[in-house]
Amino acid sequence: LPRLAAALLFIPLALLLAPGVRLQAWAALYVLAAASAAAYAMWLVRRDLGVDFRPIWADLGRSMREGWAFAVGGSALKLYADIDKTLLARLSTLEAAGAYSVAYRVADMASLPLNSLLAAAVPRVFRAGEQGVHHAGRYALRLLPLPLAYTAAIGGVLYFIAGWLPWVLGQSFAPAIEALRWLAWLPLISLPRLFLQTTLIGGDRQGLLAAVLGVGAALNILLNLWAIPRWGWQGAVGATYVAEMVMSGILILSISCQFRD
């Protein structure tokens, strides 16, 4: 909602401002929206849970030990998700980067129901994980059928509606049609990694997860550096799919070892 509000504010401003300052105006509105959302969330936490946000220096070391894995894992995941667009713009063309970015964003939006389901399930996965990562894994498996059906179905939908992109966004986005058809199966390909990732979080294995996500980010960078100069955005799609499958494979092996233990 804050981003939507920023976008709605930007529309009339864009008509009034000179083209040279529109980017700065959008950046300022985006930061303001993010800061407002963060402030509101902190206010709700303080009101409903009575949390005091004053720093407790005595617990700083423990908090850093507990939080480093989340910080590293989150940074690695962000790098993994965004680095291909940057490399595509640098190693290929801006047109290819634009088409790929639009298609990736559409596929990413199609994953929102899946991400919402997993976010809602995290507290229950945590409770199951109190008895070990294998209990967290068993609980996560019970949730799998519906997301599996959804991601398979949405992949087909994205493939067939890709041709509507120019009608919705304008003819300049016609190159994104083929890119979206290539990326239509991203929600399905990323499903195993997302479920295994949730399992490790619930089983208190954030350090292992951070390491796997770091490997995935590094592999994605290397594959993009090799594939983009040869095949453009198609190489970026291939790099993303390979990195997803490698991360899923490592997570499966890791959790299998936890089950044996």
* 116 and 10 in a common domain: no
In this predicted structure, the answer to whether residue 95 has a pLDDT above a threshold of 60 is yes
Domain ranges, residue 164:
59-260
**pLDDT one-digit tens code per residue, 236-252:** 999 999 999 999 999 99
**pLDDT one-digit tens code per residue, 99-147:** 999 999 999 999 989 988 888 888 888 888 777 777 787 888 888 999 9
Of all residues in the chain, what percent carry a pLDDT higher than 70? 96
Mean pLDDT of the chain: 87
* 100 and 46 in a common domain: no
Q: pTM of the full predicted structure? A: 0.82
* 43 and 65 in a common domain: no
* 138 and 34 in a common domain: no
* 66 and 153 in a common domain: yes
Tokens 């790098």, located at residue: 79
**pLDDT one-digit tens code per residue, 31-81:** 888 888 888 888 888 888 777 777 677 777 777 777 788 888 989 999 999
* 41 and 147 in a common domain: no
Where a domain ends, among 26, 54, 82? 54
* 34 and 84 in a common domain: no
Domain count, the chain: 2
* 225 and 109 in a common domain: yes
* 35 and 105 in a common domain: no
Q: How confident is the model at residue 10 (pLDDT cuts 50, 70, 90)?
A: confident
